[in-house]
């Protein structure tokens, strides 16, 4: 747990506290008295701002605490007991949520990813194959589709891809749910063409990530069509996901959606990522995937990995072969130019 | 959602943000970088302080977000699939958690409360009756015991009562779990004789409430005997209860357990509650229960209730009869003498 | 496990195999080949006969194996994830199903029974109290009502009582589900005025018990309104309740509903029960409840209980006081006049 | 639902009733009175015979009703809440049980099959990869291994393969569970070298299939090591898998384990399968897999498939390509030489 001054941190995007504007507002309002459970004016205000940012005046918005919790709560709310959720085999719900979806009684029906993404064609085929199977009544029915924007690999769905997915989902009565844990980094990417308004139009439920995008914690679930999930408040409570001091989330999302902060907050991460990717290419490193957001995946020899690790915290992603590994550098809203330059120097040194 | 200056708030103990010391530390550390999921030095430090405060050097400590979440996670971790949790019929898990325990597959086996409490004798009888029943293998086996300190009625278990419960639980291999959502108010009560050390000795798991006791959020689960719950980290994750930025909880509990703050933080609530109770008695109000902590239950005519409601936010507890109601005033660590005096004047006016 | 000739068996109504007509048909059809999972002509025929007997031409009928299984499957199918099932505190699902309902994620919301029954007034009050509670969104919503006909105490709902329950349930959008594990004994009781047609009209789902009413096993779930439970076949499979050789249940229910056998099959049990009750009264025994079906509850001194136990298998129901117990004699479709007379002699001897 | 005399049935191995010896015994004992829930002498006797046949004098034996039910009950009993069950991607629990394992809260961790089987090496690698993963505490821990003997493809594990699996499972504290839905056909196969004694020695739990092997229904769970699953009776009840008239299963398994019937009962199926496979080869049909038990998989053009379907019921397995399909012929204990010859003639006709 080194915490020395000289060490560089590019291991993840949840290593700092919150954006200064959030901290300031939390301080200012600290001793005000408000009712609990998200009925307070700060939460109401945040919800209204989110509705506006999404161009979804009828949307219901709920503020939860963390990503796994949000995924489990939304998926349990959308599925019937005999249905499963379709996801990429690299989807967060399929891999790193300790079985939270199965804990709720549902199977994750995985399909192979490409660059972390799944396609409308895959969904269409999966549904067709399911109903073509003579034994389909003995199988888990696909009941909804889960995707992440950006994906777990840092890639992006284009508006066209998302629209195609949405179409096939709606034709097959499969709610489409978008996990936006890192949504700010999608919105800040020059390559992105999917807006909050698009998400509200094309998905049935999505969430706007706070934890990895500048908040202390918090994820804002947006249900564009009012009444789509009856009694969601109680479902949240049943999942242990209801915050007593709801306003602490309300204030944070209120700030994130003041003056378009959420649309800007990912920019420094993008700039740092661009520079790091340029340096990696320049110094002859091999990117395992050319990602347009704040996660950079790079194949290095185990020797080089060890050297870099002397100065930098990064994520070990997976073994590539006996002598190479895939490592991940993640930038964030709080990444400084100074740290980025230092990282680039270290990369140069170890090239 | 009145929020005007002149209105008084005695509806609950989670109406403010956090103790100033917590806010200060969150500000100071805001842009430091630390690893996630509670592996950071702040969380490690908080755990160590809690171990010391509990005189439990081997204890495992985990920081979760909220009470219902904590109850569901701990209870699921302690019970076998065929067991249920014994609780007072007024226990929070039996009433106001939207079925979170049943969502985890377990029955709450209720026994009648007295002043919000259950007794060793009741547990003994319940176990005896269970195994005496010819059909017990067709029934839900009692697998653990849940109590709250203070109880949902603001009452306290004495050390003697707790020791008796602990003894009968251990004799019957029933883990004893103590919900300490409002534990600071127990520890600050002049009538209390149960220390943190007692809790660590007499229970198998207990939690130290943060949300209602001065934190923005957070509950510290203490497992005095190391290894008592294998893989609890994964169980927490599976329940969606793992905080990515774990240090936000760590910093808060670190402050709460610096210089004995947690032992002091409930004092203002106690003083305010004493004065309010004295005033209620003086002005001829009827207390429905003489509670030693920060919740005051009072029987008033519906007419009087309406009058008080013009100036004060309080909790409607239950209908008493056709013309009377039970109402609750809750004080907190943040209750001021000024507000207390104002409330007393309103009580005098409406006596 | 005595099995000697001289011993008498009045412990329950599932001590024999099946009605001879069933065994004969199983033998005759044994080597025929049919498709599985209840798609065979015998099952189709049985379903059609049940529809006719219930005057419910649109009803969907499913044949399951046992009572607990049927209750869990139907209740899970009818409830939303955040709802519970209302039942008498003596209801089978609340007591002797090892937590099968909680295993499915749902709370049993108990109300006090009277003679094993609950009333329309109780349901009305429960619903009103629920929605009157300021915290109802933090509580388990009543989602359906469960009753047994006859009840676990052998008592009967009258048509009037059932109609009142049905009315209040429909007004409150609560499906009414009737557990008919011993339904043949209700239908054979002279005091009964509730027909199969009434059940189909007044309930949303009910089941016609086979296991305790002359079959080797089997319970026929009747859903009077077609489409009421979408994908129930898959829900049955998911609950492990789908019989591969479905026709074994189909043949049994086919026989039970040929020439009105199900309506007659309980008669011998009724006649035996009448004679036993008359004898008990004549010899000065105290009935704990005057039940109109095949279960007779009687308070005896522990001494007398021991003496009777030398010759007779009966059910120990519960401790009455320190020196007395409640015992149960159950008659069945297979109870002979000879055994009944022998029991009466033993009762006379020990009076 | 054709049921005409001339039609041939090779669609599955659960198309008839029960072996005549079973039917005879059910008839003879039909009106005897015994206690319920498997405490009767017939069930006790059957359990003792199974213990002897398995050379496992300490084994606990439980008689359940069907395969999916048995799998769900055993797997829920063996796993901790945070664990999953490892299975071939073609394993029955992974495909055709409508999510019964997920309903119990557990993930099925699939590994690629080869001829329907998985290997010790795969398990070893899976465990190593799991604990090598930096994020393993965020993932579903492998908690047990599930295999089928014979597999869903009709193939067999050799004693050597099973011993290797058992070894790696024990080294890694993973209970090994064997689904023996069609075990009689393994035991009757000339290629088989795995005995009941081997299963009792090498697995932690296995079940001896009745439904597909000559019984009306029923699966016998064998737990070689006494006390391995505490309170399994209650777990069975909780899963709705407890038969009230337990003796109906007891009598059936009693007959199946009298004079080695279970070891012989699959022979006619083997002989028929041999002849059909020989004919298929002789007439130039392409087997998709050369299976040593009672399931024969064959690739035919869709045209030929339609022709055969005019006279024979068989199983459609899967699409092979645009113009071909894989079909399955299943023989059973009840398959006659006459029907086998008729099938061969039809195969000749359509070659």
pLDDT digits 0-9 by tens, D281-299: 999 999 999 899 999 999 9
Question: B247, B264, B281 — which closes off a domain?
Answer: B264
Q: Is the pLDDT of residue B66 over 60?
A: yes
Q: For position D5, what pLDDT does the model report?
A: 57
Cβ neighbourhood burial of A93 (10 Å; 0-12, 13-18, 19+): buried
Nearest chain D Cα to B138, which residue?
D234
Say yes or no to pLDDT of C49 above 80. yes
- Evaluate whether residue B2 is within a structural domain: no
* Chain-chain contact of D313 with C248 (C-beta, under 8 angstroms): no
Which residues on chain A are in Cβ contact (under 8 Å) with B68?
237, 240, 242
B80 part of contact set with chain C, CB < 8 Å: no
Are residues C337 and C245 part of one domain?
no
Residues of chain C with C-beta less than 8 angstroms from the C-beta of B99: 82, 84, 105-107, 140
Q: Which residues of C touch B320 (CB under 8 A)?
A: none
Taking contacts as CB-CB distances below 8 angstroms, the residues of chain D near A97 are 138
Query: Would you list the DSSP string of B251-263?
Result: HHHHHHTSTTHHH
For residues C280-298, give the mean pLDDT: 95
Regarding whether A270 and A299 lie in a shared domain, the answer is yes
Instruction: With CB atoms and an 8 Å threshold, state whether C102 touches B102.
Output: yes
D95 inside 8 A of chain C by CB: no
pLDDT 10s digits, B148-192: 999 999 999 999 999 999 999 999 999 999 999 999 999 999 999
Residues of chain D found within 8 Å of residue C44, distances taken between Cβ atoms: 1
Closest CA to A96 of A28, A215, A181: A181
| Model confidence pLDDT, tens digit, residues A8-55 | 999 999 999 999 999 999 999 999 999 999 999 999 999 999 999 999
Q: Is residue C1 part of a domain?
A: no
User: Using CB atoms within 10 A of its CB, is residue D48 exposed (0-12), middle (13-18) or buried (19+)?
Assistant: middle
DSSP alpha helix (H) spans, chain A: 20-28, 41-53, 67-78, 92-95, 100-103, 120-132, 159-171, 183-187, 196-202, 232-238, 247-256, 261-264, 267-282, 302-309, 337-349
Inter-chain touch C231–A105, beta carbons under 8 Å? no
The tally of CA atoms less than 13 A away on the side-chain side of residue A338 is: 5
Residues D175-203: pLDDT tens digits?
999 999 999 999 999 999 999 999 999 99
Verify that A315 and A335 share a domain, yes or no: yes
Mutate to test the interface with A, among D85, D107, D302 (most CBs of A within 10 A): D107
pLDDT tens column, B310-332: 999 999 998 999 999 999 999 99
Q: Do A188 and A284 belong together in one domain?
A: no
pLDDT digits (tens, 9 = 90+) for D231-285: 999 999 999 999 999 999 999 999 999 999 999 999 999 999 999 999 999 999 9
Which chains have 3 or more CB–CB distances shorter than 8 Å to chain C?
A, B, D
Same domain, D259 and D271: no
In-domain check, residue B161: yes
Decide if B121 is inside a domain.
yes
Per-residue confidence (pLDDT) for residue D297, from 0 to 100? 96
User: Is C3 domain-assigned?
Assistant: no
**Is there a single domain that holds both residue D134 and residue D224?**
yes
Separation in Å, CA of C169 to nearest CA in chain B:
22
Handedness of CA A54, A58, A63, A68 (dihedral sign): negative
Q: Which of B209, B229, B264 is the C-terminal boundary of a domain? A: B264
Residue D278: inside a domain, yes or no?
yes
The answer, yes or no, to whether residue C294 has pLDDT greater than 70, is yes
Q: For the residues B285-303, what does the mean pLDDT come to? A: 95
Cα separation, A250 vs A262, in Å, equals 14
Asked if C80 lies within 8 A of A231 by C-beta distance, the reply is: yes
- pLDDT of D345 higher than 80: yes
- The pLDDT score that the predictor gives to residue B7 is 87
Entry field: residues in chain B: 351
- Does the CB of B233 have a partner CB in chain D at under 8 Å? yes
Q: pLDDT digit string (tens) for A194-234?
A: 999 999 999 999 999 999 999 999 999 999 999 999 999 99
pLDDT exceeds 80 at position B277: yes
Q: What is the pLDDT of residue D351?
A: 86
What does each C-alpha distance from B188 to B50, B163, B215, B331 come to in angstroms? 17, 20, 16, 13
User: What is the domain extent for residue C225?
Assistant: 20-264
Chain B hits for A73, Cβ within 8 Å:
240
Q: Which residue is closest to D106 within chain B, CA to CA?
A: B238
Q: What is the DSSP letter of A330?
A: E
Looking at residue D268, its pLDDT comes to 97
Average pLDDT over residues B213-219: 98
The kind and range of the H/E element at B108 are strand B108-111
Which residues partner with D84 through β-bridges? Answer: D142
Q: Evaluate whether B232 touches B223 at the Cβ level (below 8 Å).
A: yes
Task: Say whether residue C278 is in contact with chain D using an 8 A CB cutoff.
Answer: no
Which chain C residues touch A72 with a CB distance below 8 Å? none
Query: Is B30 an interface residue toward C (CB < 8 Å)?
Result: no
Contact D140 A99 (CB under 8 A): yes
* Probe site for chain D from A67, A102, A108 (most D CB atoms < 10 A): A102
CA–CA dist A312, A303 (Å, integer): 14
Rounded to whole angstroms, what are the CA distances from A194 to A197, B24, C234, C262?
A: 8, 39, 38, 64
Q: Given a contact as 3+ CB pairs under 8 Å, which chains touch A?
A: B, C, D
Q: Are B46 and B253 in contact (CB under 8 A)?
A: yes
Candidates A3, A39, A240; nearest CB to B68 = A240
Q: Is the CB of residue A105 less than 8 Å away from at least one CB of chain B?
A: no
What proportion of chain B, given as a percentage, has pLDDT over 90?
A: 96
Q: What pLDDT sits at residue B351?
A: 85
> Residues D142, D147, D152, CA angle at the centre, nearest 5°?
135
**CA-to-CA dists, residue D287 to B61, D28, D278, D279, D294, angstroms:** 60, 45, 11, 11, 14
Tens of pLDDT, residues D30-83: 999 999 999 999 999 999 999 999 999 999 999 999 999 999 999 999 999 999
Say yes or no: B218 and B252 in one domain: yes
Number of structural domains found in chain D: 2
What are the chain D neighbours of A309 within 8 Å (beta carbons)? none
CATH number where C58 lies: 3.40.640.10
Question: Tell me, what's the pLDDT at D261?
Answer: 98
* CB neighbour list of residue C210: distance below 8 Å, 6 or more residues apart: C217, C218, C219, C220, C249, C252, C253, C256
CB contact A302 to D (< 8 Å): no
Closest-CA residue to A293 (of A164, A149, A91, A195): A149
Looking at residue B1, its pLDDT comes to 37
The pLDDT confidence band at residue A6, using thresholds 50, 70 and 90, is confident
Do C256 and C214 contact (CB within 8 A), yes or no? yes
Residue A101 lies in a domain: yes
Least Cα distance to D285 among D294, D296, D293 occurs for D296
Looking at the structure, tell me whether residues B229 and B304 fall in a common domain. no
For C10-47, how does the pLDDT look when each residue is reduced to its tens digit (9 = 90+)? Answer: 999 999 999 999 999 999 999 999 999 999 999 999 99
What is the count of residue pairs from A and B with beta carbons less than 8 Å apart?
166
A57 conformational bin, left if phi > 0, alpha if psi -120 to 50, beta if neither: alpha
Chain A contact present for D136, CB below 8 A: no
Among D263, D281, D311, which residue terminates a domain? D263
pLDDT, averaged across chain D: 96
Chain B residues within 8 A of C98 when measuring between CB atoms: 82, 137-140
Q: Are residues B225 and B295 in the same domain?
A: no
Q: Tell me if residue A30 falls in helix, strand or coil.
A: coil
Same domain, A256 and A308: no
The answer to whether residue D3 scores a pLDDT higher than 60 is no
Contact assignment for C33 to D16 by CB distance below 8 Å: yes
Query: Is pLDDT of D210 > 50?
Result: yes
Is residue C208 within 8 Å of residue C172, measured between CB atoms? no
- Residue pair B156/B191 in contact by the 8 Å Cβ criterion: yes
Residue D2 included in any domain: no
Task: With a cut of 60, say whether residue B249 has pLDDT above it.
Answer: yes
Q: Which of C211, C159, C218, C146 is nearest to C185 (CA)?
A: C211
| Chain D partners within 8 Å of A136 (Cβ) | none
Instruction: Locate the chain B residue with the closest alpha carbon to C106.
Output: B102
Task: Provide the edge-to-edge strand list for the sheet that holds A315-319.
Answer: A286-289, A295-301, A324-330, A315-319
Any B CB within 8 A of C328 CB = no
Find the closest chain B residue to C108 by CA distance. B107
B79 with B203, same domain? yes
D44 and C CB contact within 8 Å: yes
| Residue C5, pLDDT score | 57
CB environment C229-251: b (16+ within 10 A), e (fewer): bebbbbbbbbbbbbbbbbbbbbb
Measured between beta carbons, the chain D residues lying within 8 angstroms of C40 are 1
Phi, psi of B297 (to 5 degrees): -105, 130
Statement: residue A142 has pLDDT above 90: yes
Residues 6+ apart with CB under 8 A from C42: C29, C34, C247, C250, C251, C254
Q: How many CB atoms lie within 10 A of CB D5?
A: 4
Write the ipTM.
0.96
D187, D297: one domain = no
Pairwise CB contact (< 8 Å): D99 & C238:
yes
Residue of B nearest to D136 (CA): B234
Contact B155, B116 (CB under 8 A): yes
Contact by Cβ (8 Å): A211, B212: no
At residue C335 the predicted structure's pLDDT band, cuts being 50, 70 and 90, is very high
- Check residue B2 and give its pLDDT: 40
Q: What is the mean pLDDT of residues B287-314?
A: 95
On whether any CB of chain D is under 8 Å from the CB of B226, the answer is no
CB of D143 within 8 Å of a chain C CB? The answer is: no
Question: Is the bond preceding residue A55 a cis peptide, omega within 30 degrees?
Answer: no
């Amino acid at each position: 747990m080194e915490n020395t001054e000289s060490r560089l941190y590019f291991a993840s995007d949840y290593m700092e506290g919150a954006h200064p504007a959030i901290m300031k507002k939390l301080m200012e309002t600290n001793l005000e008295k408000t009712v609990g459970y998200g009925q307070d004016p700060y939460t109401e205000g945040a919800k209204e701002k989110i509705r506006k940012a999404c161009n979804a005046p009828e949307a219901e918005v709920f503020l939860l605490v963390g990503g796994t919790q949000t995924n489990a709560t939304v998926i349990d709310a959308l599925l019937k007991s005999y249905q499963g959720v379709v996801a990429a085999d690299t989807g967060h719900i399929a891999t790193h949520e300790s079985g939270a979806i199965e804990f709720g009684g549902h199977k994750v029906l995985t399909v192979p990813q490409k660059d972390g993404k799944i396609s409308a064609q895959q969904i269409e085929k999966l549904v067709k194959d399911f109903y073509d199977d003579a034994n389909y009544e003995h199988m888990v029915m696909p009941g909804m589709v889960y995707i992440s924007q950006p994906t777990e690999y840092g890639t992006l769905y284009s508006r066209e891809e998302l629209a195609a997915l949405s179409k096939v989902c709606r034709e097959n009565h499969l709610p489409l749910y978008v996990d936006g844990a890192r949504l700010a980094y999608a919105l800040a990417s020059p390559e992105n063409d999917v807006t909050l308004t698009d998400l509200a139009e094309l998905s049935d439920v999505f969430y706007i990530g706070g934890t990895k995008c500048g908040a202390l914690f918090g994820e804002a679930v947006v249900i564009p069509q009012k009444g789509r999930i009856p009694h969601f408040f109680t479902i949240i409570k049943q999942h242990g996901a209801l915050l007593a001091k709801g306003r602490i989330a309300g204030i944070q999302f209120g700030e994130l959606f003041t003056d378009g902060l959420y649309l800007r907050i990912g920019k420094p991460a993008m700039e740092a990522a661009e520079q790091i990717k340029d340096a990696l290419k320049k110094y002859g490193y091999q990117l395992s995937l050319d990602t347009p957001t704040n996660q950079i995946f790079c194949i290095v020899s185990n020797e080089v990995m060890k050297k870099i690790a002397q100065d930098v915290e990064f994520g070990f992603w997976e073994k590539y072969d006996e002598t190479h590994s895939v490592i991940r550098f993640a930038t964030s809203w709080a990444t400084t130019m100074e740290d980025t330059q230092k990282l680039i120097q270290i990369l140069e040194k170890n090239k």
